[in-house]
Structure 1
Amino acid sequence: MKFRQNALKKLNALDELDAPARLAKPSSWIALAAVAFVVIGGGIWATVGSLPRMVTAAGILTHQQGSFTLQSPVAGQITGVFVDQGSTFPQGTPMLTVQVGNRTEIIRSVTGGRVTAMLGKVGQVIAAGSDLAVIERIEDQSDGLVAVLYVPTGEAGLIRKDTPVDLAVQSAPAQEFGVLRGTVVSISQFAESRQQISDFLGDDQLGDRFTAQGQPLKIVVRLMEGETASGYRWSTQSGPPYRIDSRTLVTGAVQLSPIKPIEWVVL
């Protein structure tokens, strides 16, 4: 009843009817102006500004034609190994000899290349189809390295030819030497299976590694040449003071075209 009596007294106070009403305190107007400034500024930034985008993917340094595993066409005992790991050779070079009964079979390379892993040893008894060596296909000794990235199919659709790529090289810490520069030269049309990757790289473990999250698309990156010890361009002036070899794992950051924040809302 007390609150009702007070309300009735205010209604009877006719002298206060002409008093101006205060809609908001000055501090409220300041807060409202600040909010309006933020909204307008955010709208301008969303329309005019841009945000960088990138796709990261695991990969490896290799030559354009990849590698293959040399297998023995015969069963017998290895009696000679003529090439060492790291050596290069032309097509038709004798690689090993295998004693098969009373005759000696010479196993030759079907292409020129470089031995990245010699698996056969003198005295070893092998069966037909045994792995003898992993060979990188190199038809021209001047062929440079490329980086092959395996990108998840859901992200590869954003990548275009000539897109710049930064490559963190496992054997050259990025904190010290920076990243290797490159550009996209090709994008596979179809996803790569584990077996396709294993056949191209000559390594089943790499096939497992690059398909751990599903079948990816293959992105080939051309490395930019530079006047450095490695022969390639880096984000730092000199890069590492040594040669970067093939079969080195890398992580690629593909630099996509920037996107305007408002496109997130529209899309």
Structure 2
Amino acid sequence: MKYRRQALRRLEAPEQLDEAVRLAGVPTWLTAVALTLAVVFAAGWSTTTEVRRVVEAAGVLIHSGGVSPLDAVEGGQVMEVWGALNHRVAKGTPLYSLRSADQRIVIVNAPWDAYVVTWMISEGQLLQPGTRIADMERLDSPDDNLQAVVYVAASSAPLLRPGNQVEVIAESVPSTIFGNLRGTVATVGAFPETEESLRAFLGSGADVRRLLAGGSVIRVAVPLEPDPDSPTGLKWSKQSPPFQLNSVSAVTASFTVAVEHPIDWLLKR
């Protein structure tokens, strides 16, 4: 009965709503330590983490001399054609023969060491002097290796400097298997390119609309790391493809224009 009377008294007593409820709190020193660790971690991350600023642009793999047109010097009917697309020919190699108006057989030889990029004649065709015969990618020296010539948006070109590192993806080579090419900016053009100047360097068959799709562009020359043991003559980040690259192969280049730390953004450096 004793316990029953105590329980009844508690039920009859008014609720003590004015008493403050004490909650278990976090010690002040623990909160301070947590905040300090967070600040130290953020400061370390912002000063040590590297963020690369990258500019991307389209271009081609080509030799330094670019593509030059070959025109007929005299007229006549084409008899034989020996030149083949994307094949290297040495200076003096016969390209085609024709029968002139006076019935002479004239053999026309290659004026340069070059690759035949575009061939524009066929056997039996009648030629007039000045007719375009071919576009030829010239090789002006024995060590004239392929380089990337890239056309960067004019608004981004001022960010580039000779010595900037470049990664180049060749569109005709699977990068998941063979990787990418690497190079360094050698020159940055001083004036915007036009459709005419692009065709003068890349040849009449080049898809210059792709290069001008984003507006005004500046030409940037990027020599690539060589590899004499590779069929391409270039060093690949994974393994070398077992084939040569066609002349004027399309590429996409990524230029590293700056390496920054997050703290630079805060300080606006």
TM-score range, shorter chain: 0.7 to 0.9
In structure 1, the partner of 2:247 is 246
In structure 2, the partner of 1:175 is 176
SS at match of 1:244: coil
Cα distance in structure 2, aligned partners of 1:38 and 1:196 = 56
**Residues 137 and 247, structure 2, Cα contact 8 Å, conserved in 1:** no
List gaps (5 residues or longer) in structure 2: 1-17
List gaps (5 residues or longer) in structure 1: 1-15
Cα distance in structure 2, aligned partners of 1:191 and 1:31 = 59
Residues paired across the two proteins, number: 246
In structure 2, the partner of 1:4 is none
Identity %: 28
Confirm whether residue 161 of structure 1 aligns to residue 162 of structure 2: yes
Superposition pairs of residues 56-205 of structure 1, within 5 angstroms: 56-85=56-85, 86-90=87-91, 95-102=95-102, 104=104, 107=108, 109-205=110-206
**Residues 63 and 143, structure 1, Cα contact 8 Å, conserved in 2:** yes
**Residues 57 and 253, structure 1, Cα contact 8 Å, conserved in 2:** yes
Cα distance in structure 2, aligned partners of 1:71 and 1:32 = 82
In structure 2, the partner of 1:10 is none
Cα drift, residue 82 of structure 1: 4.2
Cα distance in structure 2, aligned partners of 1:46 and 1:54 = 19
Comparing 94-103 and 32-41, the one that deviates more: 32-41
Compared CA separation, residues 241 and 26, structure 1 to 2 (3 A): farther
Cα distance in structure 2, aligned partners of 1:152 and 1:166 = 17
Cα distance in structure 1, aligned partners of 2:138 and 2:203 = 10
Larger Rg: 1 or 2? 2
Compared CA separation, residues 87 and 45, structure 1 to 2 (3 A): closer
SS at match of 2:155: helix
Comparing 119-128 and 195-204, the one that deviates more: 119-128
Cα distance in structure 1, aligned partners of 2:242 and 2:93 = 33
Cα drift, residue 110 of structure 1: 4.3
C-alpha offsets along residues 196-250 of structure 1, whole Å, 9 cap, x if unaligned?
11110113542222112222111111111236534322222x2323333432111
Superposition pairs of residues 25-36 of structure 1, within 5 angstroms: none
In structure 2, the partner of 1:235 is 237
SS at match of 1:200: helix
In structure 1, the partner of 2:55 is 55
C-alpha offsets along residues 118-166 of structure 1, whole Å, 9 cap, x if unaligned?
2211111344443211101112233211111111111121111121111
Cα drift, residue 62 of structure 1: 0.8
Cα distance in structure 2, aligned partners of 1:43 and 1:123 = 76
**Residues 195 and 207, structure 1, Cα contact 8 Å, conserved in 2:** no
Cα distance in structure 1, aligned partners of 2:48 and 2:242 = 43
**Residues 89 and 110, structure 2, Cα contact 8 Å, conserved in 1:** no
Cα distance in structure 2, aligned partners of 1:234 and 1:155 = 27
Cα distance in structure 1, aligned partners of 2:246 and 2:102 = 42
SS at match of 2:226: coil
Superposition CA RMSD, Å: 3.4
Compared CA separation, residues 111 and 226, structure 1 to 2 (3 A): closer
Q: Give the counterpart letter for 2:67 in structure 1.
A: S
Compared CA separation, residues 212 and 98, structure 1 to 2 (3 A): farther
Cα distance in structure 2, aligned partners of 1:74 and 1:212 = 39
C-alpha offsets along residues 94-119 of structure 1, whole Å, 9 cap, x if unaligned?
54344453355665544332222222
- Give the structure-1-normalised TM-score: 0.75
Compared CA separation, residues 239 and 31, structure 1 to 2 (3 A): farther
**Residues 65 and 140, structure 2, Cα contact 8 Å, conserved in 1:** no
Q: Give the counterpart letter for 2:222 in structure 1.
A: V
